Amino acid sequence: MRPRAPAAQPEEADPLPEATSSFHDRFVELFDAHFQRLYRIMNRLSGEPELAADVVQEAFVKLYRRGFLPEAPEAWLISVAMNLFRNERTTRSRRLRLLTPSRGEQVHGGRLPGPEEATSAEDSRRRVRAALDRLPERERSLLLLHAEGYRYREIARALKLNQASVGTLLARARRAFRESYQGTRHAP
């Protein structure tokens, strides 16, 4: 994903009605409360800081372009960032396939640390990433959203889950992650 060009000057011709000050204030509040958390979630999900920053920024830009707040802005931001992330991943894998004829392609994540990379910190990071990557997307997202302090209601809305079963799903996801992490000790 390309880095964004510097933001255009706001005094240029504005295609949207001028945002009301209350909307703008609420936008700033949402940014302050959620930007860092969403960035951490997307970065943990993707392992790509640039991609994470890009999709979270894009989610906020989309929110601003709406000109008014959705019913549950936190869940809306999460859903939009997740969708952008999925789209980017899909586009990228398609691009890799097109760039690389099938006989040449072999792309996978985190399985090739050379000896110089095998410090314990990096090794541990690699194991955490591998353990997360093995989980189904829903469990991964659930754990990461909860780790950032999102409430059951917000998580249920963002991931389209039944709110009454979020606790059970969280317990299962955490168990699955721990088993997956233990499994990385013996991975090649």
Partner 1 sequence: MHLDDERIQRLLHGELSGAAHDSAREHVAGCEDCRRRLAEASREEAETFSLFRELDDPAPWTSAGALAARGRAPGGQRVRSAAAFAIALGLAGAAYALPGSPLRGWVASVAGWIGERRPPSAPAVEVAPDSADAGIAVVPGPQLLIVFTSRQAAGWVRIAWTDGAEVIVRAPPGAATFTSDVHRLVIDNHPGAAATFSIEIPRQAPRVEIEVEGARVFLKEGPRVIAPPLDPASGAYRVPLAASGP
Does the footprint of partner 1 cover residue 117 (CB under 8 A)?
yes
Where in 146-175 is the site for partner 1 (CB under 8 A)? 146-147, 151-152, 164-168, 170-172, 174
* Residue with smaller CB distance to partner 1, 79 or 135: 135
Residue 162 token pair:
């039944």
Nearest-CA neighbor of 68 among 10, 15, 23, 16? 23
Of 71-90, which residues contact partner 1 (CB under 8 A)?
Answer: none
181 binds partner 1 per the rule CB under 8 A: yes
User: Is 26 buried (19+), middle (13-18) or exposed (0-12) by CB count in 10 A?
Assistant: middle
By CB under 8 A, the count of residues binding partner 1 is: 83
Does position 14 bind partner 1 by CB under 8 A?
yes
* Tokens (6 digits) for 125: 């990071």
Q: Is 24 in the site for partner 1 (CB under 8 A)?
A: yes
Residues in Cβ contact with 80 at an 8 Å cutoff, skipping those fewer than 6 apart: 58, 59, 62, 63
| Residues in Cβ contact with 138 at an 8 Å cutoff, skipping those fewer than 6 apart | 159, 161, 169
- The one-character DSSP state at 122 is H
CB of 106 to partner 1, least distance (A): 5
**Binding pattern to partner 1, positions 28-67, x when CB under 8 A?**
x--xx--xx--xx--xx--xxxxx-x---x--xxxxxx--
Q: Is 137 in the site for partner 1 (CB under 8 A)?
A: no
CB 154 within 8 A of CB 78: yes
Residue 136 interacts with partner 1 (CB under 8 A): yes or no: no
Nearer Cβ to partner 1 (13/160)? 13
Closer to partner 1 at the Cβ: 16 or 71?
A: 16
